Amino acid sequence: MAGFRVALSGDFRKADGSPTFPDFDLTPLKQAANVEMAFLDNASPLKGEQLEAFDALILLAQRFDAASVPKSGRLAVVARFGVGYDTVDVPACTAGDIALVITPDGVRRPVAVSIITFMLALTGKLMVKDRLARSGPPGFAARGEHMGVGLVGKTLGSLGVGNIGAEMFRLARPFDMQFIAHDPYADKQVAAKLGIELVSIEQLFARSDVLSVNCPLTTDTHHIVNAGRLALMKPTAYLINTARGPIVDQKALTTVLEERRIAGAGLDVFEQEPTDPGDPLLKLDNVIAAPHALCWTDQCFAGNGAADVKAVLDVMRGQVPRGVVNREVLERPAFKARLEGFAKRFG
């Protein structure tokens, strides 16, 4: 019986063949009966001919577009390592009867912890105080000029109340803050349970003392954080973005930060990645920056990897995996036939 073939994008391996992220445990795939595994080249976007003989793909950072869909009709699932899927052409996947899967459970807690990390560092003036401590007596003498901000009674806002946004509010409960959010698709029962007041987007920007961006990047959310909305924020407020860089108009953000029209920002994502070292945003002392990796921990990568491996093995057994983005593909006859075929061969 022909095996179930799983491809891994080439960026999971270093040039010397060693794993890029050792916490991604491939043992369940290696030990599964009838599974064959192979790493692809590092081409980006991936090319369809690379995937002609595979049933599943586990994808890290390489792009998957319409030209990545193999003509063989064999590929059944693309399991994205993480929750962002702006590097994947979703309509092309659906048209090719390919399920796109993400890993919400793997990133929910790590990203929410990253947001809380930024919030505490910004309001506590951590980076400023680090510099003061390193400058000796003059720094210690100036410490009273850099008072932090207490969180009790302050308003924590979220642009989006999905998987990560909800977890952020759960983690923030002990700080005794007020919770508000804007999300046209919010589950009102979840919001009520977490004590979140759902507000308009204008109210969100105007009322938040700490505002976190927790929505996916889509055509609708591109630059949703723009000059007009930033102008609504308090001069004492902080903006945090751990979602996707292009959700925020970075030039507009740089301007309000330069002019001290908001207090500061914590940014793990940028419009251009990698960043340009000469970017004026990175020269500001009221910005804390991370290279799209603040949530990168052993637990995060182990969780994402385990979720992707489980999704691939579920498909192999003819089961619908968790975290399917393009749910409509589940009703397409060709996809159903693939699952049925897998169930008969490997289930």
Lookup result for tokens 């003059």: 138
Cα–chain center distance at 255: 25
Q: What is the 3-state secondary structure (H, E, C) of the chain?
A: CCCEEEEECHHHECCCCCECCCCCCCHHHHHCCCEEEEECCCCCCCCHHHHCCCCEEEECCCCECHHHCCCCCCCCEEEECCCCCCCECHHHHHHCCCEEECCHHHHHHHHHHHHHHHHHHHHCCHHHHHHHHHCCHHHHHCHHHCCCCCCCCCEEEEECCCHHHHHHHHHHHHHCCEEEEECCCCCHHHHHHHCEEECCHHHHHHHCCEEEECCCCCCCCCCCECHHHHCCCCCCCEEEECCCHHHECHHHHHHHHHCCCCCEEEECCCCCCCCCCCCHHHHCCCEEECCCCCCCCHHHHHHHHHHHHHHHHHHHCCCCCCCECCHHHHHCHHHHHHHHHHHHHHC
**Side-chain-facing half-sphere of 20: CA atoms under 13 Å:** 15
Known catalytic residues are 244, 273, 292
Q: Are strands 155-159 and 56-59 parallel, antiparallel or unpaired?
A: unpaired
User: In terms of DSSP bridges, do strands 4-8 and 196-198 run parallel, antiparallel, or are they unpaired?
Assistant: unpaired
